[in-house]
Structure 1
Amino acid sequence: MSTPVILEDLQAAFPGWCIWRSSAGRIWATRNGRRLSQRELDHGLSQTIDADDIAQLAEQLKEQEAGEQAL
């Protein structure tokens, strides 16, 4: 998958997440519809993540997906 360039692309690529830009300009994502278990949190998954830009957030979201698959 190529790196999404706009928020709508990022949202389409990661439908399990709610993605938005804060008033401070950071990009945030939080999981839709489920809370992580303590086991998932202990293995490095996050309920909510943030980044300076869309490309950084896309990388974090890819890492979260890889972590989920590893469990």
Structure 2
Amino acid sequence: MPTPVILEDLQAAFPGWCIWRSSAGRLWATRNGRHLSQHEVDHGLCRTIDADDVAQLAEQLKEQETAEQAL
């Protein structure tokens, strides 16, 4: 998958996440309706992540998918 370039592309690529830009311009993503167990958190899964730009957020979301699949 190519790196998404706009928020709509990012949201389409990662439908399990709610993605938004804060008033300060920072990007955030929170899992949609999924609570993580302590085991999942201990293995690197995050409920919410943030980044400076779309490419950084996309990379973090890919890392979250990889970590989740490893469990």
Taking structure 2 as the reference length, what is the TM-score of the superposition?
0.99
Which runs of 4 or more aligned residues in structure 1 lie more than 6 Å from their structure 2 counterparts after TM superposition? none
Aligned residue in 2 for 1:36: 36
CA distance in 2, matches of 1:19, 1:34: 14
Q: In structure 2, list runs of 5 or more residues that go unmatched.
A: none
Q: In structure 1, list runs of 5 or more residues that go unmatched.
A: none
Deviation at 1:33, TM superposition (A): 1.1
Taking structure 1 as the reference length, what is the TM-score of the superposition?
0.99
The one-letter code matched in structure 1 to 2:70 is A
CA distance in 2, matches of 1:68, 1:45: 7
Deviation at 1:47, TM superposition (A): 0.2
Alignment size in residue pairs: 71
- Identical aligned residues as a percent: 86
The one-letter code matched in structure 1 to 2:47 is Q
RMSD: 0.3
